[in-house]
Structure 1
């Protein structure tokens, strides 16, 4: 069977990323191609500001992906997308139901409660997902309610929502401008969590931090359930802009941050030919801003009414390009008192080319992974192959230049003729008949006539 090709598009706070993967009959995901485009002003805080610019960049990304040998000559016709941005957050909603007598709790009842919670979303936002948080049956915490019996249900849901404007611009850039069908959408933070967090971390309790350029996404899990989610309007670009205040361009400030930036040490060791400015002054800016970001991240556990040591023994899992700032992992460990690790793609996802760097692309890979786990649909289209008969559309040959030519089929050569196959046979029979008649005239000549005798 042909593999299923799926494509994903992820619009972050500074980059647009796209990827294509294939699924075999066993459901194993293989990464075939990944590309990204840096976007400076067309996107702010994960929201599309300039639809035309973003649309053109999406078009370039699609063309680049289609040129990969692992995909060509297939064409990308649809994508799965992520939903995120500054307004992305989760709030808790409680829905209750009372029955006159003890009743079996079915999947249909839970679905009805979930739909009721969806309609309790914020008026100026759209609900993108509803996740069960806690369900009490007759005041008993019931992690698996379906199949149980009771007369009172109290269901607590995490309702994830975002601004309507952001979703509308995403549809304009992808569907209307590029004619790419959106097969499905997934919340960036939950898709990333499902891919990089271990079952033990989700069960014991942990915090996932996606440290981007202009936003920091925080998702807290406990008892296998999303307990808290928020998007902070801060990121690594804040550090870059602080460096720019020392009369550097944004490109140079970004380069300096990567070369000598350190979130803990004021005077880091580095080669002097890499930078000839005042490293101490620059790292004073970096340490101040990095410390502010770390404090804001750690405070989210308090807003969720959880404590790192008692409730989140799984610690902090860091993702995003901002997490690569030297010393930031140690800084976050000091601020929280929890263990910190860097996120990575699971080994269950195959990579067609080992030269692909997956860390910076974890967000778009997670969308592919989410699509693969939710009844994936084909996103590409193979060109149609037209088989031309050696006799043409009307049964006549299309090549009269040579008497013989290599052709398709079990016989490597065929006679070139303007006749149909059955007419070739008839013509051959007439040739043999003519030869036979010729020899008959030689050996069976008629007697001489009187007129012939008078001829000299």
Structure 2
């Protein structure tokens, strides 16, 4: 296989780090799974890197496993980012049309988007993605792109997905130490949506609810773009803890019960269901409150799609439908895609979504990366350090 003919996604979760490498077999035309691995994550808490060296060791171990299968070194990868401060904010910017004939150019659009960024007040945050949501020309709403239209003043309403600055810098440091080129840093829910959500769903209006080990993220889509993202500081591990406390058992046994794998013991099914449902109801109540703020409660035609390790909990669809009064389903990919990519379960969707990421995917959703310059600068820093260490 051509060593350049692959794409790698690395999902650093609070519980596990997963690596997926996709590519084309010799003579093959379809993208397929070439190698995958996962290891327990060390040095991450609530989505944040707490120990750079431990995370670097974790990623190195996971990467080494796929490199042994592939027979060559991984040099480039798409990386996920998450954390309880991963969220979105909307800002409005404007620009005066520069051409004498008042025709709007791409430069005018970028000036308006830049102005919306200048109007932000997000201390200690780093912009991960920039997404123009809507435009006005001379105060009037327009549909589609404003380029080639005419006017005096262009306004743009822009969504910015941001994360704690330190977390972004720590991720770049980790991969600088490993000498792996970061092709892009992508918010985990955006990566998952690459493989889980269709254009039809994202255009009609839907929500992606990712229930991870220590965090839960809610991302709302409309007109084929994300319009809202927020992360909550709890996850499926809290259900495990509730069960452990309720039955006075170990976390390992509680986790097995949570997923319906009760072995060697006889526990009250009614009590188990009550404990699990109580926590899920709390999660869905919080989700509904945020949908109300957006004025989208009970108004998402494509419903809510649930993913992450917590999506494997029994009856979660039923509880979501009842509490949110929306269509609800556990996220799945079509059978043809699954046969090619061999996806193990929903906890792998982010890693696969990362490996499927490309400039074309983001262009289709009007999503712009905001970290390119930072990544290049840090790569340059590590190169200069390494060169000083050479004899």
Q: TM-score when scaled to structure 1?
A: 0.72
Equivalent position of 1:298 in the other structure: 288
Q: CA deviation at 1:342?
A: 2.1
Contact 1:315–1:340 under 8 Å retained in 2: yes
Contact 2:94–2:116 under 8 Å retained in 1: no
Q: CA deviation at 1:374?
A: 6.5
Q: CA deviation at 1:349?
A: 4.8
Q: In 2, distance between residues paired with 1:51 and 1:333?
A: 40
Q: CA deviation at 1:350?
A: 7.2
Secondary structure at the aligned position of 2:266 is classed as coil
Matched, 1:30 2:32: yes
Task: Decide which of 369, 372, 392 is 2:356's aligned counterpart.
Answer: 369
- Change beyond 3 A, Cα 1:6–1:303: same
Q: In 1, distance between residues paired with 2:9 and 2:104?
A: 37
Secondary structure at the aligned position of 1:91 is classed as strand
Q: TM-score when scaled to structure 2?
A: 0.83
5+ residue gaps, structure 1, are: 261-270, 376-456
Q: In 1, distance between residues paired with 2:281 and 2:183?
A: 40
Task: Decide which of 253, 257, 270 is 1:280's aligned counterpart.
Answer: 270
Equivalent position of 1:56 in the other structure: 57
From the two aligned structures, give the one with the greater helix fraction: 2
Deviations 1:30-64 (A, max 9, x none): 2211111233x632111112222222121111111
Contact 2:9–2:353 under 8 Å retained in 1: no
Q: CA deviation at 1:238?
A: 0.7
Alignment of 1:239-388 (within 5 A): 239-245=239-245, 246-259=247-260, 274-309=264-299, 312-345=300-333, 349=337, 354=342, 356-371=343-358, 373=360
Q: Matched residue pairs, number?
A: 356
- Change beyond 3 A, Cα 1:295–1:374: closer
Q: In 2, distance between residues paired with 1:209 and 1:149?
A: 40
Q: CA deviation at 1:322?
A: 0.2
Matched, 1:145 2:146: yes
Q: CA deviation at 1:276?
A: 2.0
Task: Decide which of 87, 91, 94 is 2:92's aligned counterpart.
Answer: 94
- Change beyond 3 A, Cα 1:143–1:102: same
Equivalent position of 2:370 in the other structure: none
Contact 2:93–2:119 under 8 Å retained in 1: no
Q: In 2, distance between residues paired with 1:187 and 1:146?
A: 28
- Change beyond 3 A, Cα 1:85–1:103: same
Secondary structure at the aligned position of 1:97 is classed as strand
Deviations 1:147-166 (A, max 9, x none): 21111212000011110111
Q: In 2, distance between residues paired with 1:31 and 1:120?
A: 43
- Change beyond 3 A, Cα 1:27–1:298: farther
Secondary structure at the aligned position of 1:66 is classed as helix
Q: CA deviation at 1:220?
A: 0.8
Equivalent position of 1:228 in the other structure: 228
Greater Rg by CA: 1
- Change beyond 3 A, Cα 1:350–1:252: closer
Contact 2:8–2:355 under 8 Å retained in 1: yes
Equivalent position of 1:109 in the other structure: 108
**CA RMSD of the aligned region, Å?**
2.6
Moved more, 96-105 or 365-374: 96-105
Secondary structure at the aligned position of 1:357 is classed as coil
Deviations 1:282-315 (A, max 9, x none): 3332221121112112222112222323xx1111
Q: CA deviation at 1:222?
A: 1.5
Q: CA deviation at 1:223?
A: 2.0
Deviations 1:149-189 (A, max 9, x none): 1112120000111101111221232222x222222222222
Equivalent position of 1:450 in the other structure: none
- Change beyond 3 A, Cα 1:90–1:242: same
Secondary structure at the aligned position of 1:67 is classed as helix
- Change beyond 3 A, Cα 1:303–1:285: same
Q: In 1, distance between residues paired with 2:83 and 2:310?
A: 16
